[in-house]
Structure 1
Amino acid sequence: MRYTVAALYKFVSLPDYAALQPWLKVMGEHLGIRGTILLATEGINGTIAGSDEAIHALLDYLRADVRLSDLDSKFSDSEEQPFLRFKVRLKREIVTLGVDGTDPNKQVGTYVDPDQWNAVISDPNTVVIDTRNSYEIGVGTFAGAIDPATESFRDFPTWVQQNRVQLEGKRVAMFCTGGIRCEKASSYMLSEGFPDVMHLKGGILKYLETQPEQSSLWQGDCFVFDQRVAVGHGLSETDWTQCFACRTPLSPEDCQSAHYVTGVSCPHCFKPDTDVTRFEERQRQIDLAKKRDEPHLGRKG
């Protein structure tokens, strides 16, 4: 069985967001869907996977709410169920920036469609910023984009303040995996007085889904937060994996290292004096579960 994976989000005022949780949970479990949906007063965000019919049934259910009628969603496929369970969580923010008053429902940067993105980021007067975290950027990014070297999206405002002089007076174009982080980042930068801010509509995923590879300015693959680890053009699963010990994404070259042991260590976390017994036992349990065709908490790699 192939699974349909849907990444969805929308910034919209949902003052009754807590009341939506039990209905969504029942609906998702009834349809056999797995993944996570986040709800907050500022909107909805999530990635879910299930049969194609189940995913579209849940999206139809959400879009029946007039506030979510134009809910943004992006689709890809997976040969295996990439999630372990279905969760609907209540949050203060659907993507955590940690700056009070930043509200994309009140102000947001200019949306750039994927087919216009190449022209925007090729303009020498445009500063292009990848709003994702460093470990994601290590898997792939757009040519010429700035890596803010953040470990968390909450670090982005500090980076902006530390680099104000270099950014002021420039047109800023930002991007992220699905569009939600760069959209919120654009709201923050507008509130900080940057007048010309734009962001990639639908994020990297929509770009890779819709733009021809031969004219693409994307370099590498795109990290995703599930057991597929990364996808490429056409949103096809690639051959990246992930270290169980440190969660670092691993390229095929990393996996050839003498320091890579499946489920135990990788070139990024290997230490000669590390006690690997518990990791070896964990990997043994993962392998046994796979032989029995049963789910296990371990991730790919």
Structure 2
Amino acid sequence: MGNHLNAKQWNEAIDKGATVVDMRNHYESEIGHFRSAILPEAETFREELPMVEEILKGKEDENILLYCTGGIRCEKASAYLKHKGFHSVNQLYGGIINYVHEVKKDELENKFIGKNFVFDDRLVSESQMTL
């Protein structure tokens, strides 16, 4: 699996030009995502893995950042990409949900734009909101 980055480390990696990939379904990323993230047009996580591998071809030695809602999909995706030969695979610890908490708590810049799709009664949550 990939290295887990907290919100501060995540922001620093983005500032250094890492490649950011949204590992959520397209309807999730349409309502919110990180600036300059690659947003695969996938309906399901299963079809997204080979799609992301293809998109990232030639970037095997670059710094890759993966994110999702809570971190579960990134655990699987980071292991998949490492198995496929990507060397520097990182994931957002606790996903967007944890990122929003850390940004607020530590008074960091929030690089997430829009809303976060969550799979419960809320359906969406404000990225500036305490969850």
TM-score, normalising length: structure 1:
0.40
**Corresponding residue for 1:203?**
95
Contact 1:210 1:234 in 2 (8 A): no
Deviations 1:113-164 (A, max 9, x none): 122211111212x110000000000110111111011110001222134224
**Corresponding residue for 1:117?**
10
Q: How do residues 1-301 of structure 1 correspond to structure 2 at under 5 angstroms?
A: 108-124=1-17, 126-212=18-104, 215-232=109-126, 233-236=128-131
Contact 1:128 1:172 in 2 (8 A): yes
Q: For 1:221, what is the secondary structure of its paired residue?
A: strand
Deviations 1:163-198 (A, max 9, x none): 243433211010000011112110111111111100
Contact 2:2 2:75 in 1 (8 A): yes
Gaps in structure 2 of 5+ consecutive residues: none
The size of the alignment, in residue pairs, is 128
Gaps in structure 1 of 5+ consecutive residues: 1-107, 237-301
Measured on the aligned residues, the alpha-carbon RMSD in Å equals 1.6
Quick one: which amino acid aligns to residue 38 of structure 2? I
Cα distance in structure 1, aligned partners of 2:130 and 2:117: 11
Runs of 4+ in 1 over 4 A off after TM superposition: none
Cα distance in structure 1, aligned partners of 2:9 and 2:54: 30
Larger Rg: 1
Equivalent pairs: percent with the same residue?
A: 38
**Corresponding residue for 1:248?**
none
Quick one: which amino acid aligns to residue 47 of structure 2? D
